[in-house]
Structures are given as structure tokens and as C-alpha cells.
Amino acid sequence: MSTPQSIARSELILGGQKSGKSRRAELLARQWLAQSPAHRALLVATGQAWDDEMRERIARHQRERAARVPGLATLEEPRDLAGALARHGTPETLVVVDCLTLWLTHWLMPVAAAPEYEPNRPPAQDWQAQAALFFEAIRQTPGPVVLVGNEIGLGVIPMGREVRAFVDALGTLNQQAAQACERVTLMAAGLPLTLKAP
């Protein structure tokens, strides 16, 4: 993966599983940190460990990330992305949100064991309101913001109603994120394709 020419005010990085999207976000963070000793970088992680496989996956990602970008701090925030940006966004801080897909999953398909689980909550309205707050927070954040998300709408149409609804919602969220960001990059096989540039 080549070094980016510049860091956009905001960038959405989309791709499939293991496409290199998180690596590109890390590359941007590493480049940002190298530009000035005053710069900081924060990863807002939306994933949660609800089973052994996910716990091991998160631990492995943390180890590998620490080796690749030692200066990248981590904040676990599965739901309140707008609040995370408001609290931690500064002119000197690059914020990486990884990833939008898991964030949407927490809103539309919450795990019953989660502390915030509310089976009678209307999730569709909640996630749309939260997305509006989040995209406004991106506009207000003084430093660069990098969003990572999955592009899952290129395969076969899912059989189940709930899964189809999730794919539709994610497509809508990705479109909103693309409109909100200055740059949009599609990752495939570790290679970036610029869809939108500042």
C-alpha cells in the first residue's frame, strides 16, 4: 500500500473483509503522528467481545496495531460516536473510527447480554438520529477524522428479512458517510481506489 499524498479533513475508507481498510487508516494515523511531535492519534473501536472468538480477534488486533502504530491510543465506544468526537477531537488529534458497520450492528441488532440492551427500543429511529448527530460532530471536529466501514452490498441478496434490512441500512449509512467526508477510498486486495477527493 503506497503512502497517501495528504491527509484529508475527513475520509471514509470502505472495503470488504481483509481488504486493507484498517491498515490504510493506520497508515494515515502513522503519517499524521510523524508530521509533528504535537500530533496525537486516537482509534475509536466500536467492536465488543461477546464470545471467545471475538475476544481473541480483538486482542490480536490490539497487539498488531500496537506494533505497527505505537502512538495510536484506543478508546472503546460501541455506540456514542458523536460524544466520542466531541470529547476527544482537537486540532492536533486524528480520530479513526473503526468501524461503522459494527456501530450500526449495535444499534440494529444489539446483543441481549449487552448492558444497554433494550428489546422494546425502536432501533431504526435511534440509529438514524445517532447518525445525524455523528455526522454533525464530524463537521464540528477541528482535527482530521477517518471512518472505516464495510461494503457488503456487492454479493447475493440475503434470504432473511432482518439481514436484508441491515444491508439496506448499511448502504444508507455508507452513502451518508460518503457525503459527509471530503475523501472516500475503496479498498480491494490492499489497494486504494479514490472515489472522492478534496
Identify the CA nearest to 104 among candidates 47, 154, 145.
47
39, 61, 88, 106: which one is catalytic?
61
* Mean predicted confidence (pLDDT) in 127-139: 94
* Mean predicted confidence (pLDDT) in 80-97: 97
Which of 97-132 are b and which e, b meaning 16 or more Cβ less than 10 Å from the residue's Cβ?
bbbbbbbbbbbbebeeeeeeeeeeeebeeebeebbe
**Selected residue with higher pLDDT from 155 and 173:** 173
The number of residues making up the chain comes to: 198
pLDDT at site 49: 76
Catalytic (active site) residue 61 = yes
Identify the CA nearest to 160 among candidates 125, 109, 123, 122.
109
Residue range 10-196, CATH number: 3.40.50.300
Largest CA distance in the chain: 51
Residue 55 pLDDT class (50, 70, 90 cuts):
confident
pLDDT at site 163: 86
DSSP type of residue 121: S
Q: Rounded to whole angstroms, how far apart are CA atoms 167 and 176?
A: 14
Q: Which three cell numbers stand for residue 181?
A: 467526508
- pLDDT tens for 96-125 read 999 999 999 988 887 654 555 455 554 555
